[in-house]
Amino acid sequence: MSIEIMRFICATILLFNVLYLLSEAEPVEDKRALLDFIDNIYHSRNLNWDEATSVCSGWTGITCNSDNSRVIAVRLPAIGLKGRIPMNTLGRLSELQILSLRSNGISGPFPPDLLNLGNLTGLFLQLNHLEGPLPLDFSVWKNLTLLNLSDNEFNGSIPLSISNLTHLTSLNLANNWLSGDIPDLDIPSMKLLNLSNNNLTGVIPQSLLRFPSSSFSGNNVSQENSLSPVMSPSPAIEPKHHTLRFSESAILGITVGGCAVVFTVISLLLIFTYKKEGEDDRKTTGNKKPGKQERSSKNMVSGNQDANSRLTFFEGCALAFDLEDLLRASAEVLGKGTFGTTYKAALEDATVVAVKRLKEVFVGRKDFERQMETVGNIRHENVAPLRAYYYSKDEKLIVYDYFDQGSLSSLLHANRGEKRVPLDWEIRLQIATGAARGIAYIHSQSGGKFVHGDIKASNIFLNSQQYGCVSDLGLAILMNPISPPVMRVAGYRAPEVTNTKKVSQASDVYSFGVVLLELLTGKSPVHISRGEEVTHLVRWVNSVVREEWTGEVFDAELLIYPNIEEEMVSLLQIGLSCVARMPEERPRMVDVVSMVEDIRNMNRGSSPSLETRSLGSTPTFTPKVDDIGSSSLHI
């Protein structure tokens, strides 16, 4: 009997082990290769490549395939690599599709290891100190579509074997020391070519004349039957820059690694060609999403930068990009907020982040960095993680994850009227619960003193579980407190903040209360009704409730869901208690969390059965209104 039990226990343990191993599956050999690589090359930025963790679980710059059986992308731009790529390391990642080691200090000849990577589709080695000839036989990379070797010190001639790369769409060999004739690279798929600033001579082949003259500038080459060289200065005269350069016309470009997204070659190409078309040659567009409002925003970030400014990443962040990438990404304005403009920055590899460009930061570098460190270390499933920041005299940037469903504000208010997808009650309740938990967690930081300072619907997003997730915390204390009151923001501002200009945890609670009312009513915190009349949501809700018309308060969109009235009224009570006029009358955020959580628990307890529900006709709101009318709520 006891042996049976022992057997059973052993079998169970074995089963769990197997399941555990399966769930933690990782490419052990690829991991070894990566560790051999990083252990044998100098790098100034610390990576979170911890042998004890799975290589697919968020190692900086690493992307695995969908079943976590192989590493398929390595992106390590600007992590301060120096010296040669160690032999027999990266070459073992035989399924690698994307390799980006750009903007580092890699030297030596073209790494022979990379010739083993037959599945590469994108190779980015620009802005390093690689020297000597290019590999003779490019045909090992049959699937290569993007090749960027610009800004190195390669010399010798351009190998004709590049013309074997029939999938190539983009080739950049600019700013090297390449010499000799330009070979006839007749690749129909090629959309982008840059051979500028080399030491090339001779005549441009007929097949390449479709590219603009700036593709060849800075060489001593001529077009057929033309005597004038395409462009003047010989690179031997012009000094070469191998440091990061920030041109005014730069388009913001971002490369981000990891983040557990597997990118297909197709999406990569789409984004890439789309970006390029937007960038320089709108006429040749036509095939891809012409209506989309993506702006290749020039000057999103000013070109100036001081020497010791760089992007600072937080530990454990799986993103990897540098400021130059930020400057070149294609950017779309997501919104102009209290503290600055937020952009959606996308790039060639389809990864997207949100970049906020702060205006009117009035604290110095030290204070800024200290606050960023505090914020950056706040990790909670209902708080949008701060990924990186950048501080220089002219420019302060912060980088967040991008939430593709948009903010609560757009979920609630966008497309009202026409093709609107209603935000259902379930999600609204989850948003309220999540955001409340996030704010309560924020308030527990810094010894229970941390203040969010800017809670509003446009700073609340949906996390992967479709719960609320708060963003933009802790910025208020960095900014000029005398900023002009924006009407939209004013609606969230607690009465005492308007006078004292000081935010507090109690004022956060007030703002959150406004968000709850917004969730319930579907109305903006300050809106113009009937012509000029400005209506404050809080005042309006209070007056409606006082008049015992509670039913009228709720968003018409919610009326289609059956049996949610009690829950709505409960949430309304919580919202109203949060927007109490006197700060000391408002509940604390932890209490708000348990009240919001109780909405579901209580209702489960009280009316669990379907029968009761189907029996109930349209319930009336009146009994509850009495509770609301009295300002003291039991908690």
Ligand X SMILES: *[C@@H]1O[C@H](CO)[C@@H](O)[C@H](O)[C@H]1NC(C)=O
Residue 502 is encoded by which pair of tokens?
Answer: 């000081």
Query: Which of positions 341-400 make contact with ligand X (CB under 6 A)?
Result: none
C-beta closer to ligand X: residue 120 or 442:
120
C-beta closer to ligand X: residue 330 or 342:
330
C-beta closer to ligand X: residue 155 or 302:
155
Binding mask 58-97 for ligand X (x = CB under 6 A): ------------------------------------xx--
Q: Which residue is nearest to ligand X (CB)?
A: 118
Per CB under 6 A, the segment of 33-41, 125-133, 298-306, 452-460 that binds ligand X is 125-133
- Exactly one of 54, 60, 104, 215 binds ligand X (CB under 6 A); that residue is 215
Per CB under 6 A, the segment of 55-63, 148-156, 358-366, 571-579 that binds ligand X is 148-156
Closest approach, Cβ 331 to ligand X, in A, equals: 15
Gap between the Cα atoms of 84 and 66, Å rounded: 31
# residues contacting ligand X (CB under 6 A): 37
Helix, strand, coil content of the chain in percent (nearest 5): 35, 20, 45
Residue 160 near ligand X by CB under 6 A: yes
Contact 218, 233 (CB under 8 A): yes
Residue 35 is encoded by which pair of tokens?
Answer: 């560790």
Q: Which is catalytic among the residues 30, 322, 325, 454? A: 454
Gap between the Cα atoms of 77 and 231, Å rounded: 31
Binding mask 162-201 for ligand X (x = CB under 6 A): --x-----x-x-xx-x-x------------x-x-xx-x-x
Residue 530 per-residue DSSP state: T
Active site residue 454: yes
- Exactly one of 10, 21, 39, 118 binds ligand X (CB under 6 A); that residue is 118
Closest approach, Cβ 264 to ligand X, in A, equals: 9
Residue 203 backbone phi and psi in degrees, to 5: -110, 140
Residue 615 per-residue DSSP state: H
CA atoms within 13 A on the CB side of 255: 30
Residue keyed to tokens 């009704």: 529
C-beta closer to ligand X: residue 246 or 561:
246
Closest approach, Cβ 219 to ligand X, in A, equals: 9
Contact 575, 520 (CB under 8 A): yes
Contact 218, 235 (CB under 8 A): yes
Per CB under 6 A, the segment of 152-160, 435-443, 460-468, 542-550 that binds ligand X is 152-160
Residue 564 near ligand X by CB under 6 A: no
Of the candidates 331, 321, 255, which has an alpha carbon nearest to the alpha carbon of residue 299? 331
- Exactly one of 63, 104, 126, 463 binds ligand X (CB under 6 A); that residue is 126
Is 356 assigned a ligand-binding role in the annotation? Answer: yes
Binding mask 219-258 for ligand X (x = CB under 6 A): -x-------------x-x----------------------
Which of helix, strand or coil describes residue 464?
coil
Calculate the CA dihedral of residues 312, 314, 320, 326 and round it to 10 degrees.
-40
Residue 112 near ligand X by CB under 6 A: no
Gap between the Cα atoms of 281 and 8, Å rounded: 69
Gap between the Cα atoms of 165 and 144, Å rounded: 6
Calculate the CA dihedral of residues 119, 124, 128, 129 and round it to 10 degrees.
40
Gap between the Cα atoms of 329 and 184, Å rounded: 31
C-beta closer to ligand X: residue 126 or 297:
126
Gap between the Cα atoms of 310 and 323, Å rounded: 7
Gap between the Cα atoms of 553 and 22, Å rounded: 51
Which of helix, strand or coil describes residue 11?
helix
C-beta closer to ligand X: residue 171 or 469:
171
Residue 445 near ligand X by CB under 6 A: no
C-beta closer to ligand X: residue 208 or 545:
208
Contact 343, 357 (CB under 8 A): yes
Residue 407 near ligand X by CB under 6 A: no
Residue 17 CB neighbours (<10 A): 10
Residue 207 near ligand X by CB under 6 A: no
* Residues with catalytic roles: 454
Q: Which residues are annotated as a binding site for ATP?
A: 356
Q: Which residues are annotated as a binding site?
A: 356
Q: Which residues bind ligand X (CB under 6 A)?
A: 94-95, 118-119, 126-127, 131-132, 139, 142-143, 148, 150-151, 155-156, 160-161, 164, 170, 172, 174-175, 177, 179, 192, 194, 196-197, 199, 201, 212, 214-215, 220, 234, 236
